[in-house]
Chain A
Amino acid sequence: MKSAWAKRALVVAAAAALAATALAACGSSSSKSGSRELTFFVAIQPGGTIEEVSKRCSEESNGKYTITPEFLPTDASQQREQLVRRLGAEDSSIDIVGMDVIWTGEFANAGWVEEWTGAEKKAATENVFPNVIETASFEGKLYAAPFNTNTQLLWYRKDLVKKPPETWDQMIEQAEGLKEAGTIQVQASRYEGFMVWANALIESAGTQILSGPEEVALKQGPTEEALAVMGKLANSNAAPPSLSTSDEDSARLGFEAGESAFMTNYTFAYASAQAEAPDIGKVMGFARFPEVVAGTPSKPPLGGFNLAVSAFSENKDVAFEAATCLADKDSQKTAVELDGLPPSRSDLYTDKVVTEAYPGFAELVKESIEASGPRPTTPAYQDVSLAVQRSLHPPDKIDPEDTESIFDELKENVEKAVKREGLL
């Protein structure tokens, strides 16, 4: 009886094993003979960079994988909304993620993105600016391959201003003294761009908002100096009429319309002026982001995107390979060529594509990135950003002569935010 049973069991088991192998072969034939499909969730770039690099990397894999871009909305916070909804639901349909530099702490802490180690880590960080590597790291570990970075320069009208100002105070003075176009364009609407400005001022003054994922720095002296600059500009005649609702686009529009002689904005501003307002573009000068304290080198803002592998991807091994290709030297060159995005690799700044995209200021961009002051890395970044916005906006409420009470408010709100307390 027993042996008959055993025999039958064996036959069934064998048949099952055979069937399973056959099914498995059917199901994963793509992994053996066909190519694996990787989805790449990233924002659209108008010049077509994403499609181009995806195509190139898919081809170079010799059939191992195909990268399919899945586009996200143009606005960064909407991108995050879409990504977070899926990652929070542990969606396995995402393989590679285009991560804004400010999401690293959040995504890494939540366990949504994979750590980069070993050879891949080396390839991803080869020749990359140290500051940029920091933006892709959390608690000492690398969580993404740096793709493009971004920084702000001071743009000014060469025909109205002989020598560009070195400090914010000088700039305000110069602007107020001009007969026409006597305003300074920044980004001060109540959104992330305002946090970029505030952070750059605070860092340039010599302190930081956070000194660790949960520790608030904000040394009083330097912070108050940064706040004074903000308040001074907002209350001066150099403030454009709609300062408190200005963003990158309205800033460049104001500059291109000839209303402002000064503007702090990202590198796109140059190409935009050449195309939209060539008369202004001809007399557009560039300089480093102004200092807060005379003599202390400024720390320009740092932005950009890094490529991460989703923790819920079913093709992690291949995804790392693909992401490495997507972030490599050639891809970064394509990004500069087609969309004017500054590369995260410092060795590219002498390359022709970069010097053509940034005629005359490629070196300045490199210098700015090297000296930049990144925004804090913390899982509670959104809370901190909201807290800073709420404390400091609108900037004309800051009294440049008496910044103590606003400093107290800022510090208190950031301390609560880092602990994720309260309503924001």
Chain B
Amino acid sequence: MKSERTRSERKLAWMLCAPAVLAMLLVTAYPIVYAVILSLQDVDLRFPDEGGFVGLSNYSAVLTSSLWWTDLFNTVFIMFISVAIELVLGMAIALVMYRAIFGRGVVRTSVLIPYGIITVVAAFAWQFAFSPETGFVNNLPLIADDMDWFGGRFSSFAVIILAEVWKTTPFMALLLLAGLVTIDSQLYEAARVDGATAWQRFTRITLPLMKPAILVALLFRTLDAFRVFDTIFIMTRGALDTESVSILGYNQLISRLNLGLGSAVSVLIFLCVFLIAFVFVRGFGAKVQEGRPGG
């Protein structure tokens, strides 16, 4: 009896998952495999008659280049700082969205607008604002009139991170809000009766119960942050050592049409992101995939 139930359960599960799995594989199976194959060859679209299998030499060309390591550092730097800020800010905003005693609709809608603005246009708006000749930022008090934000490496980073944080904090806030909503308010009542302070309620009840939401938000946000492209490309084009690994990949793949090198960079980016995801899932004990025993 039990094995029959298990088998029908499995069948149901696979039937439910099949459409999604199919939709995901159909589009990506060929391109991903193709990209990996390309990365092992010397292929340049502009020289169609040359090239051939070269094994791992594309990878060694990338990994022995100081450019790759500089860009990797830039990417990790931006990712780390922007995600950290977004988490804290997102949490604060989620609390406001949830607990505001009036104007909730206004807050929730306006918070999501940054996320909905077209990325390249948002980056451009920030660049326009910070540019000494066209923007208003330099006219603000406490800021030098001819401060060239994009003339220095770390001032550029500051604007890039600001733009990234502004754009994607809503993503965090939204996921955290949804996580907040699922917490049973009776738990808070009970805790208050027991004399717990607001901070204690937050750290002992809210945070632990929000763990799944926080982890999903952090995981996906970090993966996306690692692949930052548009913001940097529009603001500095990667000049002054602000280039990210995605811009590096773009240069090889699209500008130089060196499909072998470009694919190698893509695969390496994938492996880095995979490493990050691995750290998350193992290190933070993300138990997202374990469901409760079926009702």
Q: When each residue 365-383 of chain A gets 1 if its CB lies under 8 Å from chain B and 0 otherwise, what string results?
A: 0000000000000011011
0/1 interface trace, chain B 222-265, chain A, CB 8 Å (1 if under)? 00000000000001111110000000100110111110010000
Task: Report which of A84, A242, A380, A423 forms a contact with B133, defined as CB distance below 8 A.
Answer: A242
A88 at the interface (CB under 8 A from B): yes
Task: Return chain A residues, CB-CB under 8 Å to B65.
Answer: 422-423
Given A241-B146, A394-B239, are A420 and B151 also a contact pair (CB < 8 Å)? Answer: no
Counting chain A CB atoms within 10 Å of each CB, the highest count among B46, B48, B148 belongs to: B46
Query: Is B134 part of the binding interface, using a Cβ–Cβ cutoff of 8 Å?
Result: yes
A232-252 residues with Cβ-Cβ distance < 8 A to B are: 240-245, 250
Question: Which residues 59-103 of A have a CB within 8 angstroms of B?
Answer: 77, 81, 84, 88
Q: Are A242 and B254 in contact (CB under 8 A)?
A: no
Residue of A nearest to B45 (CB): A88
Chain A residues, CB < 8 A from B258 = 420
Cα A118 to Cα B134 in complex, Å, equals 53
Whether, in the assembled complex, A114 has its beta carbon less than 8 Å from a beta carbon of chain B, the answer is no
Complex CA distance for A382 and B252, rounded to whole angstroms: 10
Chain B nearest CB from A379 CB (Å) reads 5
Q: Are B255 and A244 in contact (CB under 8 A)?
A: no
Interface size class of A (residues with CB under 8 A): 20 to 34
Interface residues of B in 136-190 (CB under 8 A from A): 146-148, 150-151
**B212 close to A (CB within 8 Å):** no
Asked whether A161 is an interface residue with its Cβ less than 8 Å from the other chain, the reply is: no
Nearest-neighbour CB distance to chain A for B193, whole angstroms, equals 59
Most buried by B among A109, A380, A423: A423
Is A158 in contact with chain B by the CB < 8 A criterion? no
- List residues 27-71 of chain A with CB under 8 A from any CB of chain B: none
B239, A254: Cβ atoms under 8 Å? no
Pick the most buried of A77, A110, A189, A191: most chain B CB atoms within 10 A of its CB.
Answer: A110
> Is B80 in contact with chain A by the CB < 8 A criterion?
no
Residues of chain A within 8 A (CB-CB) of B127 are 245
Q: Which residues of A contact B131 (CB under 8 A)?
A: 242, 245, 250
Complex CA gap A424/B68 in Å reads: 9
Contact at A110–B46, with CB atoms within 8 Å? Answer: yes
Docked-complex contact B148 and A191, CB < 8 angstroms: no
A169 — which chain B residues lie within 8 A by C-beta? none
Chain B: CB-nearest residue to A381: B46
- Check if B61 is an interface residue, CB within 8 A of chain A: yes
Chain A residue at smallest Cβ distance from B239: A190
Interchain CA distance A379-B127 in the complex, whole Å: 34
- Closest residue of chain B to A240 (Cβ to Cβ) is B133
A242 vs B240: C-alpha distance in the bound complex, in angstroms? 13
Residues of A near B48 (CB, < 8 A) are 110-111
For A257, the chain B residues whose CB sits under 8 A away are: 133
B120 to chain A, nearest CB (A): 11
Q: Give Cα distance in the complex from A380 to B254, angstroms.
A: 13
Assess the A382–B134 pair: CB atoms within 8 A: no
Q: What chain B residues lie within 8 Å of A422 (beta carbons)? A: 61, 65
The answer to whether B62 has its CB under 8 Å from any CB of chain A is: yes
- A383→B253 CA distance, assembly (Å): 11
A210 contacts which chain B residues (CB < 8 A)? none
How far, in angstroms, from A110 to B47 measured CA to CA in the complex?
Answer: 5
Is A393's CB under 8 angstroms from B239's CB? yes
Q: How far is the CA of A250 from the CA of B240 in the complex (A)?
A: 19
Q: Looking across the interface, which residue of chain A has its beta carbon closest to that of B71? A: A423
Q: How far is the CA of A243 from the CA of B146 in the complex (A)?
A: 12
Binary interface encoding of chain B residues 251-295 relative to chain A, with 1 for a CB under 8 A from any of its CBs, else 0: 110111110010000000000000000000000000000000000
A337 beta carbon closer than 8 Å to chain B: no
For the complex, is A253 an interface residue (Cβ under 8 Å from B)? yes
Q: Which residues of A contact B133 (CB under 8 A)?
A: 240-242, 250, 253-254, 257, 259
Closest to B248 in A: A423
Residue B67, interface by CB 8 Å: yes
Expressed in whole angstroms, the Cα–Cα distance for A423 and B66 within the complex equals 9
Query: Closest CB of chain B to A376's CB: distance in Å?
Result: 15
CB<8 Å pairs between A and B, sample of 19? A88-B257, A106-B46, A110-B46, A110-B47, A190-B239, A241-B133, A241-B146, A242-B150, A244-B148, A244-B150, A250-B131, A259-B133, A379-B46, A386-B251, A394-B239, A394-B240, A422-B61, A423-B252, A424-B251
Q: Which 3 A-B pairs have the closest CB atoms?
A: A190-B239, A241-B132, A423-B65
**Can you add 4 more A-B contacts, CB < 8 Å, to A81-B254, A245-B127, A379-B47?**
A110-B46, A110-B48, A241-B147, A396-B151
List the interface of chain A (C-beta within 8 A of B).
Answer: 77, 81, 84, 88, 106, 109-111, 189-191, 240-245, 250, 253-254, 257, 259, 379-380, 382-383, 386, 393-394, 396, 420, 422-424
